[in-house]
């Protein structure tokens, strides 16, 4: 099966990072809510978060697991990257 690599632009990543800076990093937030706040598509936000996590610029912390496939996360910026 082929691997599909979806990358996000630095502008998309910065938009998501700006939103993450404004939220309470101790509380869970949905990707849909982040997308609404960033005025972006939820799928693009999901990929931007993955890219930011891979770059070590954002930490994704599991806050509440409804089941093994449905987990709510909180997000916070990593300082001094």
* pLDDT in single tens digits along all 81 residues of the chain: 788 889 899 999 999 999 999 999 999 999 999 999 999 999 999 999 999 999 999 999 999 888 888 889 999 999 875
> Residue 3: what pLDDT?
87
- The CATH number of the domain holding residue 64 is 1.10.10.10
Within-domain flag for 34? yes
The total number of structural domains in the chain stands at 1
Residues 6+ apart with CB under 8 A from 40: 12, 15, 16, 48
Q: The domain containing residue 38 runs over which residues? A: 10-77
- pTM of the complete model: 0.88
Within-domain flag for 1? no
């Amino acid at each position: 099966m082929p691997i599909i690599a979806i990358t996000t632009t630095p502008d998309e990543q910065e938009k998501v990072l700006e939103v993450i800076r404004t939220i309470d990093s101790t509380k869970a937030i949905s990707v849909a809510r982040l997308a609404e706040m960033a005025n972006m598509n939820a799928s693009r936000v999901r990929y931007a978060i993955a890219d930011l996590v891979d770059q070590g610029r954002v930490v994704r912390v599991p806050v509440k697991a409804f089941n093994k496939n449905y987990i709510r996360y909180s997000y916070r910026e990593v300082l001094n990257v």
